[in-house]
Amino acid sequence: MKLIWGKLFAFIGVLLALVINPQSVSGRELIKIPPGSYQSAYRNEGDPVQVQVDGFLMDALPVTNDQFFNFVKDDQRWRRSARNDLLADSHYLSHWKGDLDPAGPNHYLDSPVTNVSWFAAVEYCRSRGKRLPTINEWEYAASAGLTMREGSGELGFNQYVLDWYSRPAPPVLPAVGNSAQNFFGIGDMHGLIWEWVLDFNSILVSGESRGDGGLERELFCGAGAIRSANVNDYPAFMRFGLRSSLQARYSVNNLGFRCAADLLGSGINEND
Amino acid sequence: MKMIEQEKFWGTRKIWITIGLFWMFALQGVRAETPSDGFEKHLQLATMNAGEMSHEMSHDNHNAPESHSPGHANSVYQIDFTWETQSQKKIQSSDLRGKFQLVILAYTECSHACPILVADLKHIEGLIPKRIQEQVGFVFVSIDPERDTPDQLHQFSKKMDLGTGWHLLHGDSTAVMGMAALLGVKFRQEPDGSFSHSNLITLLDPEGKIVFRLEGLQQNPDALVHLIIENA
Amino acid sequence: MKNYLKRILLLTSVLLFIFDAGVLAEQRLQVPLAYAPDAGKALTRSPGKVRVDLETKEVTGRLADGVEYNFWTFGGTVPGPIIRIVEGDEVEFHLNNHPSSKMPHNIDLHAVTGPGGGAAASLTAPGHTSTFSFKALSAGLYVYHCATAPVGMHIANGMYGLILVEPEGGLPPVDREFYVVQSDFYTKGKYGQEGLQPFSMEKAIDEHADYVVFNGSVGAMVGDNAVRAKVGETVRLFIGNGGPNLVSSFHVIGEIFDTVYTEGGILPNQKNVQSTLIPAGGSAIVEFKVEVPGTLILVDHSIFRAFNKGAIAMIKVEGEDNSTVYSGKQADTIYLPEGGAIQEVLVASEESLTPMSHQERLSRGQRLYEQNCAACHQMEGQGIVGVFPPLASSDYLMEDLERAIGIVINGLEGEIIVNGERYNNIMPSQRLNDSDVANVIGYISNAWGNESRLYSAPEVATIRASLKSH
């Protein structure tokens, strides 16, 4: 009986959190993520199932169009008209009305900025004294549920995450901060956009997912076989798939980013 | 008088028209025999249409060695990283300008693919005609800067019998990551300290633009070599 | 003399420049794409260098009446277009992922010999293009589909189509060719539940399909969307099965396949076949000559899929009767009288909440009529003299529509007289909900010369309740 009540409360908690608890957290806030571990969707043979992650700092919310505008205002090399084709492809900031006009019909100013390349994201974070999160950091932060440390243990969590992939793109990309924060205090990890990570190009899968059970020795030199550790984690497969399809200069209409920082000695620049 | 002038007029032109028609038919035959379109076209496009390419090409089927450039027409040397070579000389990326460069990202401790990748490069080196050897260089960027110190790189180049056309580069993690991002190389460090990385040979033209990507081990380098010879 | 030489050299270099520029232009033939049920044109050319451009796009569209689904597609449709090339073609394949896509996509063409069938080479982020080349080594009818992880989800959302590699010289000529693909869909809600339905991974894993359809939606090739042929013509169907899960027992009601290319191979290896198996991720080619006019009904003969999940398509054959071949008796149809309606819909609990316009109701009524009533009462409501009473200009029908509603609900047996003819047969009760009864009666009473007001669902409910109390 007790078990049922516990699950029921958790379920109601999740529902409430999803439905009536939108919080807008200042995107300037850096959240401290404690050290811990998570189950990666892909891992090498012989690796432990749980991946250990050191503590770090992470933006509570993705970087918005407004914040990115402040960046290009100061650094004209990253304005759309000054685009260097080596560092950003022709989709770069294509949703903005102009070089210094971040508005557009399909987004708000505080929607997450998209159509930015990895180079642009790296440079933005560097200018704020931060950096991009690594895959492990991002996936670890994303594995948290709303009320529990482990999202997979929460009723309705997996379906909620998976549902984003079934929905068509919204006509207007919503603003950040309108979904509940997760257990770590981070928001919008699911259901809004894909996000760049620092080592996006460390995924050695060929895109031929039926063959990705073993490391493709022709294409990749490496120690072991990549295996999927959790066959039910479809959202994670899709994130890995998306990352492996990217090149650093790509700008994609639903791919944005947020910044992270090391716990010690971070020269955080709050002037954006 | 007019009749004679007219004759003269057409006389010369008859000859030109005949020559023109001759070349037209002669070249038809030649054109049909040139190797299939693809890489040459992309080299020309790379030089001509710097801003116009809206096409992105991602990595290709590794059974079809004709690769396409990642789609941008700019020199990778624009991001001018600092490196230290196996001779402990400090250079910038842009110092590689002026020659074709064949670039791989690998590390010396690697037991399986990297020796093959290096062998592949040496094989290509052997296929370059003597007269243009001076115009082709080979670059090995280590993805393991911790262990692959310049000294270690020097030992490695001796072991693999690499000549003067080779630069083995040591850089900090930012430089290595940046180079990987620019060339589209994937790599990762494993918990045991070894690295996994994609097997890729990138050909940069003397300006530093990516003009060919050969993915996989022991691929047929004919198209790549042909490209160098045609444009050296 | 020097002058002459200079001029020759000048002319030669000018000409060379022109021809070099010519090399830049694509010398490849662009392969045209055809969208189901159109099968494109038969090819008679010899093999050569060709180019295919195919776009992946995520599109919200109709899965069934009132039911919307977010499809992931090749070419903007489910199924994707049919690609027709010739054995020996060297294909340069461009896969373009539309910038509005959420997902990366790739393509595995079963016609390709090479890693992943092209999937390894073609993983494409939204807004970008991948290019790879292959040679079509073997003639046959092959499936292509997306193979990005999770593969099942990409296929289940509609990413499949057919590529036909014709033998050199083409297939033997026929009068008509059509392109049909069967597939299964898995939604959170039940069959027919209205609104935008998300994909259900659980049902897909359990292989509990909610919809089994031809050409991507319920009724895609039914009624006005049916394809047409004329009596005496030879018809060839290129049929694919996109899956993701179900195998098809493909049958055309009213026809026997004169020739079957089993599993889409290039050998016409069987004759006189009634139903042929099409594996998931496979295909078949069937040919038959249409001898009599009428409507041929394509089904998956795992029959509940046809009547309860949407696996019905139609070929309307027009022309002269041929009564020695077919007299009009229903003896050889496999429709079971009880099998016509949605079985598990509890009456009155699944009413549609969105009000439909007059025209929408008549359209729905027509659809319902074709699926549930036309088997006996015929497509034009003419019935079969002495066997099934007509509905067109029927005195029995039009003099008491409330009685007609009651008959649809409860069935009818015993002798009746319609337009002066006696009929003594059994009509089974139809398990339709109140609004569907109202809509089908609405259609019947306004088609073929009939005219009447429409009844509402509450009125039907009242009639239903009053019948119960008898």
Q: What does C11-74 look like in DSSP terms, one character per residue? A: HHHHHHHHHHHHHHS--SEEPPEE-TTB--PPP-SPP-EEEEEEEEEEEEEEEETTEEEEEEEE
Least confident range from A184-188, A237-241, A264-268, C61-65: namely A264-268
Q: Which two tokens stand for residue C14?
A: 């000018």
pLDDT at C345: 33
Residue C260: predicted pLDDT? 97
Q: How far is B130 from chain C (nearest CA, A)?
A: 28
Centre a 10 Å sphere on the Cβ of residue B12 and count the other Cβ atoms it contains: 11
CB contact under 8 A, A221 and B184: no
- Tell me whether the omega of the peptide bond preceding residue C173 falls within 30 degrees of 0, making it cis: no
Which residues 113-152 on chain C approach chain B with CB closer than 8 angstroms? 114-115, 118, 120-121, 123-125, 127-134
On the question of pLDDT at C56 being above 50, the answer is: yes
A35-48 average pLDDT score: 77
pLDDT exceeds cutoff 60 at C205: yes
Residues with Cβ within 8 Å of C128's Cβ and at least 6 positions away in sequence, in order, are: A89, A245, A250, A252, B56, B58, C96, C97
Burial of residue C441 (CB within 10 Å: 0-12, 13-18, 19+) is buried
Separation of alpha carbons A40 and A142, rounded Å: 11
pLDDT, tens digit, 9 for 90 and up, residues A134-156: 999 999 999 998 888 888 878 77
SS3 (DSSP) at B116: helix
Nearest Cα of chain A lies from the Cα of B127 at a distance, in angstroms, of 23
Provide the number of CB pairs (under 8 Å) joining chain B to chain C: 66
Side-chain-side CA neighbours of A228 within 13 Å: the count stands at: 19
CA distance A49 to A37: 10
Q: Would you call A234 and C153 a contact, using CB atoms and an 8 Å cutoff? A: yes
Q: Take residue C147 and report the two structure tokens written for it.
A: 């193979």
- Tell me the pLDDT tens digit for each residue of C216-272: 999 999 988 999 999 999 999 999 999 999 999 999 998 999 999 999 999 999 999
Q: What's the helix, strand, coil split of chain B in %, to 5? A: 45, 20, 40
Among the ranges given (B211-215, C6-10, C132-136, C375-379), the one the predictor scored with the smallest mean pLDDT: C6-10
Coil vs helix vs strand at C465: helix
Query: Are C76 and C118 a contacting pair, CB within 8 Å?
Result: no
Contact A86 B76 (CB under 8 A): yes
For B164, the token pair is: 């003067």
Interchain CB distance below 8 Å, C16 and B27: yes
As beta bridge partners, residue C38 has C178
- Indicate the SS3 state at residue C105: strand
Cα B156–Cα B158–Cα B160 angle in degrees, nearest 5: 70
A147 secondary structure, DSSP code: S
Q: Do B61 and C120 touch (CB under 8 A)?
A: yes
pLDDT band at C339 (very low <50, low <70, confident <90, very high): very low
Comparing CA positions, the residue from A141, A152, A165, A146 lying closest to residue A230 is: A152
Which position has the higher pLDDT, B67 or A107?
Answer: A107
Q: Which two tokens stand for residue C155?
A: 């296929």
Contact C132 B16 (CB under 8 A): no
The C-alpha atoms of residue C298 and residue C240 are separated, in whole angstroms, by 13
Task: Compute the average pLDDT of residues B182-211.
Answer: 87
pLDDT exceeds cutoff 70 at B209: yes
Read off the pLDDT of each residue in C462-470 and give the average, rounded to a whole number.
81
Quick one: average pLDDT of A223-249?
Answer: 75
Q: What is the dihedral of CA B50, A256, C100, A99, to 10 degrees?
A: -50
**Residue B23: pLDDT above 80?**
no
What local confidence, expressed as pLDDT, does residue B54 receive? 23
Map out the domains of chain B with their CATH numbers: 2-231 (3.40.30.10)
Task: Pick the more confident residue, B194 or C327.
Answer: B194
Alpha-carbon torsion (A110, A114, A116, A120), positive or negative: positive
Q: Is C12 on the interface with B (CB under 8 A)?
A: yes
- pLDDT computed for residue A270 by the predictor: 45
CA distance B213 to B42: 12
Token pair, residue C319, equals 């022309």
To which H or E segment does residue C442 belong?
helix C434-444
Report the DSSP pairing between strands C67-74 and C195-197. Answer: parallel
Residue carrying the six token digits 């002798």: C415
Residue type, C310: G
Task: Note whether B19 contacts C128, CB cutoff 8 Å.
Answer: no
Q: How far apart are CA A52 and CA A41, in angstroms?
A: 14
Query: Distance of CA A162 to CAs A146, B116, C153, C201, C456, Å?
Result: 15, 42, 11, 9, 40
Q: Answer positive or negative: Cα dihedral of A192, A194, A197, A203.
A: positive
Residue B37 tokens, joined: 């379109």
| pLDDT mean over C377-382 | 86
Query: What pLDDT sits at residue A11?
Result: 59
Close Cβ partners of C208 (under 8 Å, ≥ 6 residues apart): C186
**pLDDT > 90 fraction of chain C, expressed in percent and rounded:** 60
Residue of A nearest to C152 (CA): A234
pLDDT at C102 over 70: yes
Type of residue numbered C435: S
Put simply, the answer to whether C115 touches B41 (Cβ < 8 Å) is no
Q: What is the mean pLDDT of chain B?
A: 74
pLDDT of residue A205: 58
Q: How many CB atoms lie within 10 A of CB C279?
A: 15
Report whether pLDDT(A271) > 50.
no
Q: Which of B112-116, C70-74, C317-321, C329-333 has the lowest mean pLDDT?
A: C329-333
Pick the closest to residue B141 from B100, B171, B116 (CA basis). Answer: B171
Which tops the pLDDT comparison, A208 or C405? Answer: C405
**Residue C339, phi then psi, degrees to nearest 5:** -85, 10
Whether the pLDDT of residue C424 is over 70: the answer is yes
Whole-number Å distance between alpha carbons of C355 and A37: 52
- Rounded to the nearest angstrom, the gap between the alpha carbon of residue A113 and the centroid of all alpha carbons in its chain is 12
Does residue A63 or residue B223 have the better pLDDT?
A63
| C169 φ/ψ angles, rounded to the nearest 5 degrees | 95, -15
Cα angle C390, C395, C400 (rounded to 5 degrees) comes to 110
Alpha helix ranges (H) inside A101-149: 118-127, 135-142
A118 contact residues in B (CB cutoff 8 A): 181
Is the pLDDT at C329 greater than 80? The verdict is no
Largest CA distance in chain B: 96
DSSP three-state, residue C96: strand
- Quick one: pLDDT band at residue A107, thresholds 50, 70, 90? very high
Q: Which residue of B has its CA nearest to C106?
A: B58
pLDDT at A229 over 70: no
Distance CA C9, CA B68 (A): 34
pLDDT in tens, B77-135: 988 899 999 999 999 999 999 999 999 999 988 766 678 888 889 999 999 999 999 99
Residues 41-100 of B with CB under 8 A from A: 50-51, 53-54, 56, 58, 62, 70-76, 78-79
Distance CA C275, CA C257 (A): 8
Does the global pTM surpass 0.80?
no
Range name among A122-126, A206-210, C135-139, C389-393 with the lowest pLDDT average: A206-210
A199 in B contact zone (CB under 8 Å) = yes
Cα separation, B25 vs B104, in Å, equals 44
Evaluate whether B106 touches B196 at the Cβ level (below 8 Å): no
Q: In chain B, what residues touch A205 (CB-CB under 8 Å)?
A: none
Contact B225, B127 (CB under 8 A): yes
Write out the H or E segment, with its range, that includes residue C299: strand C294-300
Radius of gyration (C-alpha) of chain C in whole angstroms: 27
Which residues in chain B are contacts of C121 at CB distance < 8 A? 59-62, 64
Instruction: Judge: A238–C150 Cβ closer than 8 Å, yes or no.
Output: yes
If pLDDT is split at 50, 70 and 90, which confidence band does B62 have?
very low
Is the Cβ pair B78, A249 closer than 8 Å? Answer: no
Amino acid, res. B115: P
Residue C122, chain A, CB below 8 Å: the answer is: yes
HEC string of C158-173 equals: CCEEEEEEECCCCCCC
Identify which of C99, C123, C147 has the shortest CB distance to residue A210. C147
Q: How long, in residues, is chain A? A: 272
H-type helices in A167-260, by residue range? 234-244
Confidence of residue A230 (pLDDT cuts 50, 70, 90): low
Cβ within 8 Å of residue C426, ≥6 positions away: C337, C411, C412, C413
User: Average pLDDT over chain C, rounded to whole?
Assistant: 87
- Of A126-130, C119-123, C325-329, minimum mean pLDDT range: C325-329
Task: Tell me whether C104 touches chain B (CB under 8 Å).
Answer: no
Q: Do B55 and C133 touch (CB under 8 A)?
A: no
Contacts of A211 in chain C (CB under 8 A): 115-116, 120
pLDDT at residue number B47: 25
For residue C124, the cross-strand partners are: C105
Position B112 scores a pLDDT of 67
Comparing C334 with C201, the larger pLDDT belongs to: C201
Q: Is ipTM strictly over 0.90?
A: no
Count CA within 13 A, CB hemisphere, residue C139: 15
Report the gap between the CA of C155 and the closest CA in chain A (Å). 13
